[in-house]
């Protein structure tokens, strides 16, 4: 059993402190202090969160400890009040039925991931999130797919809201309030962190973020209004919840629901960034089983573009240029198919892999291999 430690920090505002007589008035109010030696007990935190109808728990997507923290908060809130729902950024609104099918036990985990196009649309290692969704399934906790379709935000990022077609506009949130200057300033930092974007594309970038945040807020609001007895925990990237200017205030505008914002460690600590901060030791997922290949997807085929030297695939006899056709008797056409076939495998597990290989003399051959998966290697490209 994995043992992990969660520490909690309550951000406190203190009263006046002694200042030299020459200190300016604004200097006296320009900082706060944090007492790191007096963490807020988890039970007390959860009791305070339970007074709110909505709890936002922001994350850095690839931090495993952040998702363990989210799960612990969900568990404890559910113990206090089973009328709980979970809203997530990770799935898009058109896939709500597929999410429901999994949570209600009608489909398997792999069917769920395939049906929601998880690896095409989100792509982070699903093992980060699996404990949360398994708990929701076991406890019959509804999960709301909050995100807007990728095609919509991509289109807005290219042409802005004003440039959308009438058909595309049908998927826009009904209310979109402009971004305030502080929100724009934070988005500017994110925008400049994307190399290759043209400077004049910033307004479109802001539009896309507004559609993203308003869309998630609208989806959560619709659920809360239709289910007046339920509370909701919303899980999303920290940028969507910090300072309240992403999803939280836009949800409050629609519902007047009380809320609290919880952020995990790894974010800069600034005034009003959140109501609570969680300080936890960084944890890594256990090693996954890997083929040791870099893949290139094109024309309905998934071809090996590179092999990790000494990796599982190379040791088994696969070669650069081989086209993967099956893994454990499941057809492979995309890199997502490969992820689905091995995401829950560990080093040492064996899989049957079929490939199609072109030979100069004998033409195309279908070959069958048994591969013992290893820990992930360092092959360039997709490290499957």
**Which tens digit of pLDDT belongs to each residue from 334-346?**
999 999 999 999 9
Q: How far apart are CA 132 and CA 143, in angstroms?
A: 10
Tokens of 198: 């043209």
Q: How far apart are CA 87 and CA 219, in angstroms?
A: 9
Q: Are 302 and 354 in contact (CB under 8 A)?
A: no
Domains observed in the chain: 6-280 (3.40.50.11550), 293-372 (2.30.42.10)
Q: How far apart are CA 274 and CA 24, in angstroms?
A: 28
Q: Where are any strands of DSSP class E within the chain?
A: 6-10, 54-59, 84-92, 143-147, 231-237, 259-264, 276-280, 293-298, 301-307, 323-327, 330-331, 350-359, 363-372
Q: Give the predicted TM-score (pTM) of the model.
A: 0.88
User: What is the model's pLDDT at position 23?
Assistant: 42
User: What is the model's pLDDT at position 200?
Assistant: 72
pLDDT tens figures, 81-115 = 999 999 999 999 999 999 999 999 999 999 999 99
Quick check: 265 pLDDT over 90? no
Quick check: 333 pLDDT over 70? yes
User: What is the model's pLDDT at position 192?
Assistant: 81
Three-class DSSP category at 280 = strand
Tokens of 306: 């590179």
- DSSP 8-state secondary structure symbol assigned to residue 162: G
Range in 125-129, 192-196, 207-211 the model is least confident about: 192-196
Tokens of 125: 């290692």
Residue 141: CB atoms within 10 A of its CB come to 20
Q: Characterise 198 by phi-psi region: left (phi > 0), alpha (psi -120 to 50), beta (else).
A: beta
Q: Select from 90, 202, 99 the least CA-distant residue to 141.
A: 99
- DSSP 8-state secondary structure symbol assigned to residue 50: T
User: What is the model's pLDDT at position 32?
Assistant: 65
Tokens of 34: 């944090």
- Give the model's confidence band at 380: pLDDT under 50 very low, under 70 low, under 90 confident, else very high: very low
pLDDT tens figures, 222-238 = 999 999 999 999 999 99
Q: Count the helix, strand and coil residues of the chain and give each as a percent rounded to the nearest 5.
A: 40, 20, 40
Q: Look at strands 276-280 and 259-264 and give their pairing.
A: parallel
């Amino acid at each position: 059993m994995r043992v992990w430690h969660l520490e909690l920090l309550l951000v406190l505002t203190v009263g006046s402190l002694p200042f030299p007589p020459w200190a300016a008035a604004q200097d006296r109010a320009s900082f706060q202090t944090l007492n790191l030696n007096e963490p807020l007990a988890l039970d007390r935190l959860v009791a305070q969160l339970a007074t709110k109808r909505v709890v936002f728990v922001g994350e850095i997507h690839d931090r495993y400890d952040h998702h363990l923290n989210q799960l612990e908060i969900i568990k404890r809130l559910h113990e206090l009040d089973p009328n709980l729902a979970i809203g997530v950024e990770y799935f898009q609104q058109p896939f709500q039925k597929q999410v429901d099918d999994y949570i209600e036990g009608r489909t398997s985990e792999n069917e769920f991931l395939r049906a929601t196009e998880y690896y095409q649309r989100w792509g982070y290692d699903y093992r980060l999130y699996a404990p949360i969704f398994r708990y929701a399934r076991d406890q019959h906790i509804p999960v709301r797919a909050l995100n807007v379709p990728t095609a919509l935000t991509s289109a807005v990022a290219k042409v802005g809201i004003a440039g959308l077609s009438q058909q595309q506009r049908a998927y826009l949130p009904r209310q979109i309030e402009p971004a305030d200057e502080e929100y724009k300033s934070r988005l500017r930092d994110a925008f400049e962190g994307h190399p290759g974007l043209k400077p004049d594309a910033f307004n479109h970038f802001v539009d896309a973020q507004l559609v993203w945040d308003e869309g998630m807020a609208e989806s959560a609001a619709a659920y809360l209004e239709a289910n007046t007895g339920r509370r909701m925990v919303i899980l999303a990237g920290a940028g969507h919840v910090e300072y309240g200017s992403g999803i939280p205030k836009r949800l409050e505008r629609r519902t007047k629901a009380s809320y609290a914002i919880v952020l995990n460690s790894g974010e800069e600590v600034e005034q009003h960034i959140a109501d609570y901060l969680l300080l936890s030791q960084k944890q890594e997922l256990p090693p996954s089983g890997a083929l040791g290949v870099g893949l290139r997807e094109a024309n309905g085929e998934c071809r090996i573009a590179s092999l990790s030297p000494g990796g599982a695939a190379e040791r088994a006899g696969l070669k650069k240029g081989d086209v993967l056709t099956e893994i454990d008797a499941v057809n492979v056409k995309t890199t997502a198919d490969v992820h689905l076939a091995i995401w829950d495998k560990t080093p040492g597990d064996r899989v049957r892999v079929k490939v199609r290989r072109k030979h100069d003399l004998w033409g195309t051959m279908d070959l069958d291999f048994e591969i013992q998966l290893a820990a992930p290697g360092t092959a360039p490209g997709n490290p499957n």
